[in-house]
Structure formats: C-alpha cells, structure tokens
Structure 1
Amino acid sequence: MDSSELKVGDKIYIMKAEHPPRQYSSQILDILNEKEYVIAGPIRRSTIIHVELNSVIVVNYYKERIGKFVFRALVKEVWEKGIYKLKVERLNEIVKIQDRNYFRLPISLEVEKEYNAEQVYDIENGNDIETEKEICITGDISGGGLKLFSNIKHRERDKIRINFIIKDVEVSTIGEVIRVSKAKNNAYKYKYEIGVKFLDIDNYERDAIVKYIFEQERELRKKRIDFNDY
C-alpha cells in the first residue's frame, strides 16, 4: 500500500460549500473500494453539521513526514440515525500539496526548549536526565514544525524537546533541527533561527495546531473557497 493512501481510522478534515468557509474534523470509518469511503459525519460542539446528499466536499489529510493531501468527493449517502456518517466517492486524483506550499502561520509564541548535547537520545526516550533549557520565541508554525529564535547554535539533526501552549492546549514533543542560520531582523535579539520538524507529536496536539492555523488562515483570506481548484 502506498504510504500516502488513506486507512481506516485516519483523521481527515472536510469542507463543504459555505461562506465563510469552515473546516470540520472527521475520520475514515470504512474503505469500500479505491474511490468510495465511509466517513464520520462532522459534529461541532455536540451539534450535527448537516451535509447535503449529492453535494461536493473537499477532503484533506496529513501524513507524517510525507505531506498534506487533498481531493474532492461526492456525498452519495447520509446516515444521521445512530452513528452519523457519510458515504463519499472521490471525484479526482489525490493531490499532494508540496511542503513549500504549506501554510506557515507567522506567530510569536513562547517555547521552552530542552537540549542535552551529550545524550540527545535520552531526551527522545524520555529518561530523567539534566537538560539545558532555554526560553525561545517562534517565528512561525505549521502542522509539521516551527521556526524558533534561539541563542544556542544547534547542529542539523539535533533532537530537542519543545513545550508550548497554543489555544489552551499544552504541546510537548520531540523535534529535530533541520536548518540553522543567523537570525535576521528579529526583535527579540536572538542570535540564531532554527527550523524544527516535529517527530513524535501527539495527534491531539497536532490537531490543535492545525485547527488554530486554519482559523487564522480564514481570518487572513476572508474569501470563498473555489472547490474547482482542487
């Protein structure tokens, strides 16, 4: 099986034609064939979000270390009694959105960074060892990682633990440094900026980040989604 393909239990997000556009969490409940899926119906704050029969929705999902994927689907059946679910048929090929096209949200968040230069692997394994701690500031954030301003000159492939709060959700995860450069034009007087890729982030924590980013993205764009673009 292609590692980018959907599997039963995968978290997905769906959007229907509405203004302003909203994104709803869902899940793959069953895979009927290569184009048809049974998915969980969207629910917001314990309220069913009605999806019209024969309407077209946009489905997107994220595969760790691979990327974000999107396709359009036709709603063929709707069951609202018992478990709320939809039967959908994929209308086009699954499109991968390249990493450079991910929406990275410029934002300044305070992040506690932990690092141990001698035994980096112990951080990853969660052992109780002494670590060098530093309060950093983010330059931007996405569902796959973030940019940090730091006074420590890390090396690429360094493993660090990062802890921060986004929209009342505490995030604590291991990250890998993938880029290091001298800081440019940052108001916080840090020496370096580092690109960090999330390695073992909890799905709940990633969902909180993605949800926040999409909320901010909608506020920034303020325009209707053209479903034919997917």
Structure 2
Amino acid sequence: MKYKNFFEVGDKLEIEFIDGYIENDKRLTSQLMEIISEDEYVVAMPIYKGRLINIPKGSNVNISYSIQNKGIYCFDAKVVYRNSGDVAYIKIKQINETKIKQRRNYYRLHVSNKISVYNKEDFVANGYTKDLSEGGLKFISDVKLDLNTVVICKLLIDDEELTIKSQVIRSNVYEKNLEQFEISLKFIELSKNIRDYIVAYIFRQQRILRQKGLI
C-alpha cells in the first residue's frame, strides 16, 4: 500500500515500541537512511545513552518525525529485517496511514526549565519556562522585555544549556503575580542540532505523560 510521508533521507526519527519490548519512556533516537518504496524504509538502529538498541525482527513500532512549519507526523510499522553488522539498521514496513499530531501550531509542552536572557553579551534577566515548543517558548521573569526585541536565550534542558537567538513576540504582566511578566519568545535562528534536541525532548516528555494517562 502507498502512504504519503514528508521526510527525507537523513531526517531524525523517534521510535516508540508498541509491543512493550522496551520501556516507553526511553528516548530512542534514529535516522532515516533510505526510502525503498512508499511503505518500506531503512532506519538506523536507535541509540539510547550511547548504547545500541537491537530491535528484533517482527517488532511493532511507532515512528514519529517533525517537519518544520508543518508539524509532527507519526505512523505504525513492523520491523521486517534487521542487520546487526558494522552499520546496524532495520528495515520497516508501514502498516497504517501517516497521521499529523500538530498541523498549524507547534505542540506546546508545559514544562518549567531555567532560562537566562541576554542582549548580545549583556545579561538581562533570569526566569523559568511556562511552556516550550520547537518554535519558541513562554517564560516568567521579574523583568519586562520590549516587544520585538531580539535576545539570546540560554535554556537548560536535561543539564544541557542551549543558546538560541530569539525575538520577543508578547510581553504581559503575569496574572498569577502582578510583579512578574509573562514573555513569549519566537526562535529566529535555530540550528538543526538544537532543533532536533528540543523535538526529541518534547517527544520523550509526551511519552511519559501518555504513560501516566495525563494526555
């Protein structure tokens, strides 16, 4: 059967096991190596904490990927071949239609992470995030930032500090504390590596929330 996907060779994928082979909250990062046909693909064997995860033939998996300005897509697949040689990979066969999780807006993960904001090299403010997406974030701060100001934000995720050039698109008084401000930033310069890191983090947190029945 023919399916429509939007990824290209080299794009990052997230793998989630449907049949319980591996705990669902593990962050399994992979990469599309080859498009064989409209329903068969070669995918790099995923790595978790520096260790190769060998996926057995016959496993059922869910594949997720993100396309900038389009959203997050996913589909189910069956592992039909496994190669454990020098270049470890699996061949998967898609078994249902590709679904879109987010069409117009990025998924916003409600999460509280530390953030520092700079105007070029000058420190401006500290704060904590209210939500995060691959397109931007909202944070709470003691300092008001002017609309359209371009800043450098340093965001802490899993002990990794990400440096991202951003633009202030909203800056309002925080309704829960009138002495603070709720500020929305749009990422305007985002490397592929940082974007992939944020997307993988959001995927992982979504899986944890789904496992707990919270989404």
Name the TM tier (shorter chain).
Answer: 0.7 to 0.9
Task: String of CA shifts for 1:54-88, please: whole Å, max 9, x gaps.
Answer: 32210111122322111111212111112111111
1:77 and 2:76 aligned: no
How many residues align? The count is 204
Q: 1:60 to 1:112 in 2, by over 3 A?
A: same
Determine if contact 2:106/2:133 at 8 Å carries over to the other structure: no
Letter of the 2:191 partner, please give it: D
Instruction: Say if 1:177 and 1:95 are closer, same or farther in 2 by CA, change over 3 A.
Output: farther
1:206 alignment partner in structure 2: 195
Listed one character per residue, the Cα deviations across residues 86-128 of structure 1 (whole Å, up to 9, x for unaligned) are: 111222222221266825132141x22234xxxxxxx6xxxxx
Q: Which residue of 2 aligns with 1:6?
A: 7
Which of 23, 28, 37 does residue 24 from structure 1 map onto?
A: 28
Which residue matches 2:41? 37
Task: Identify if the C-alpha distance between structure 1 residues 215 and 27 changes in structure 2 by more than 3 Å, giving closer, same or farther.
Answer: closer
Aligned counterpart in structure 2 of residue 86 of structure 1, from 90, 102, 105? 90
Secondary structure of the 2:195 match is helix
User: How do 1:133-144 residues align onto structure 2 when only pairs under 5 Å count?
Assistant: 133-144=124-135
Are 1:171 and 2:178 matched, yes or no? no
Query: Tell me, which stretches of 5 or more residues in structure 2 are unaligned?
Result: none
Deviates more, 1:49-58 or 1:92-101: 92-101
Give the match for residue 154 of structure 1: 146
**CA separation in 2, counterparts of 1:108 and 1:87?**
37
Q: Which residue of 2 aligns with 1:104?
A: 109
Contact 2:79 2:91 in 1 (8 A): yes
The answer to whether the aligner puts 1:194 opposite 2:183 as a matched pair is yes
* Larger helix share, 1 or 2: 1
Matching residue of 1:52: 56
TM-score scaled by structure 1? 0.75
The TM-score with structure 2 as length reference comes to 0.79
Q: What SS does the aligned partner of 1:106 have?
A: coil
Distance 2:159 2:113 in 1: 15
Describe the SS at the equivalent of 2:41.
strand
Q: Distance in 2 between matches of 1:37 and 1:186?
A: 51
Helix, strand or coil for the counterpart of 1:204? helix
What is the identity percentage for the equivalent residue pairs of Structure 1 and Structure 2?
29
Q: Which runs of 5+ in 1 are unaligned?
A: 116-122, 124-129, 225-230
- 1:14 counterpart letter in structure 2: I
8 Å contact from structure 1 (residues 113, 163) kept in 2:
yes
Whole-angstrom CA distance in 2 between matches of 1:186 and 1:34: 53
Q: 2:65 aligns with which of 51, 61, 67?
A: 61
Give 1:14 deviation, angstroms: 0.7
Give the Cα separation in 2 of the matches to 1:43 and 1:132.
37
- Against the structure 1 CA distance between its residues 146 and 34, is the aligned structure 2 distance closer, same or farther, given a 3 Å change threshold? same
Would you say the 8 A contact 2:7–2:67 is kept in 1?
A: no
Contact kept in structure 2, 1:13 and 1:26, CA below 8 Å: yes
- AA of the residue aligned to 1:20: E
Paired with 2:123 and 2:160, the residues of 1 have a C-alpha distance of 24
